[in-house]
Structure 1
């Protein structure tokens, strides 16, 4: 049935033309913008994802700039640390030269002062955009990433760079404020008893080798005395039955050893048969043993009876140890120092202190206290730091070789301000024998501190470089992912455009034909 009121063919043709034109418009938009999803109406879900990822790309580009700035700042600090290490090594060479007495130590000290001033100039100038990582102790955070969770929450990640203080400041003593930490300084290796104080004296420590005055020697009896890995022996002959003969022979042989810091004497008075072994060695204990042989070797009442009153019973060897002259304090292994913990050693009523910085160990504390005491130049006072190889426990030894007895005490508390990593550098003085000796030991600590600082900065710089490279690759990957989501396939769009143009022409002709159909009805009325 034909109708002049309703042209179904024209409506179908019109709808087809509209659909073709819509598709053609979309294809032309893809070609002109290069995007398959140019706005939210194209594909709201994909468009939303792409916009989130584009915001992340913007953020990561900002992070790349932050990493570049941080890398430059750390590079300056690393270069400064390496330069300081080289200058400290030069100072060590001067200190080594000063160990020889036949040199002009005043001129060497002048060179050391110049190198020390140069170190101060390097440390002061090692800043980038006002940030100096070789001064102070506060950590610096460099923005390194934006972490997005599946729920859409975003958090920032940072690379922490620890400042490495290479100044020579003494810090602020925290003793007397905050918590009492005195229990961290103990009086014996592995002990828990807080060090209670003592006196530093030069008299040394002794051990007494006692002989039984009621017994003599039999022919062939032998006595061997070992002191500090040196051994003397005596064998009784037929005419050597008196105990004094053996004692005198052994005493003479011991004195002939001429051991440094060790003397051998005969006890006076009622115990004149005894041999007294006295050691004034500062930082070294002395092992002592007596071995017996012959007829009386196993007798409890033999001619040799005891060392320090420890009687020989049923054994042919008796041993003892003469303690070092120096006073030794130990730092507990049960705790580590925190930043601001201040440790103090008082000698003759004057306090010398070291305040720990962030991440330091008890070894750092012991060496810091050693440096503080050495810097004072107390007559006759020398120091040494010891580390137990098996337990890692650290101790500080303080010796006094002067004729004056000095009171020695310790204390510790928190609330201080950290000493600089080159604490003690200003006090290096090689113009005296004592100063040259202490400087040689302390310069090693300073060099190690600067090496540790350079290594720390080098590690941080390497991590920043790696992160920067990763962020660059990540940005590229995100861009590629966004392109996969929203970019148009230009080959497909081009082919589709040509097809749609043909369809548009056909749809236009179809509509034209459909519009002509009612005119055919007019012929029926002619």
Structure 2
């Protein structure tokens, strides 16, 4: 190609076309990329400055994603605290309900429900995590949020532990004792005998008659009350002389624990009931039975046995079930046809109490989930060995529930109030941290935009300007092509000479 010689006009036009083509290529590249600086060759200062700005924007964009995850972690913890607060309020409501009743059984049920709520609180705390981070699960779950590229700006959020409500550094709410019941038994036994007191004429004595008026008693006799259960029968305290009245004898018998006497003025019949083997001794002797008056006390063997066949019961007696707080569960009035089955059903009517009668031993066993007492207005109730039992049958539970007393409940309410206060404080703390992270998110977004905008001002092309440049270059190219054609035609005119 070096041997080819172009005229100056053609060469000038050719150089112009080549230059224009190069300019058009540059402009088209700017329009295609949208940048006026695509490499360090275009503008080293602008290129490297923009690269620094873009790199920082990219770093901040990564941190922005981490901030977003921190925000979600905080929101999960805040939602957990909100739900836990509702459960603690429910637990407080249970405690207040327990205060409204004196029934130990009902309080025991409220204590169990309270414990169920604490279990739900722990489970809810365990489920309040986000992507493996749980601010309510304590150690190992602290959250660090970084705000700048060199990690000098950061926020550390300390986790709390609500997964164990008993922790003193957490809610400090321990499970309540639900209590363990116990049982006690009552021996049901008795017997009776009937003595007919008549005078020599066959007429029945009355309560005002003198005992010596009876054909059974001489004027020199005295009567004693004898415990026949002993190996050597012993005379019990008391006794009457032959000069005493029938009423004195009845009163003397009724004064003995576990013994009941009834006298019929119409028939002269003296009926004696006793919980233990018992008889009336003649002339104060413990070995001489008066008129064969032995009362053979045997254990009740059927649920149909009448209660009044025992010295512990009489018609009109009122039996009362009361728990350890003095709360009366109910009462039962003994009637002449009341049976063991009636007593058993009465006890079984109440929640947390059951009764079981053993026909073999004649014992009725009462089982209660709480402290309980079965008492009677009859002093002879549950007497044993001719000794009165004025306190009736008492059951002391192995352990009481955590809501057994008002003091226990009020102590729990105080702890619940403290827990609620701690929850609100912690919610406020998480809320403040969330506000900080969200504020830094907004700031970082705006800063990224600022950095990218600054980089763009250094590298982005003005498409309007470059479009105009391309149009001008296209016009220039067209004119250069025409000029080249003219120059070529001038060289061709020389050929016409030949």
TM-score range relative to shorter protein: 0.3 to 0.5
Larger radius of gyration: 2
TM-score, structure 1 length as denominator? 0.44
TM-score, structure 2 length as denominator? 0.46
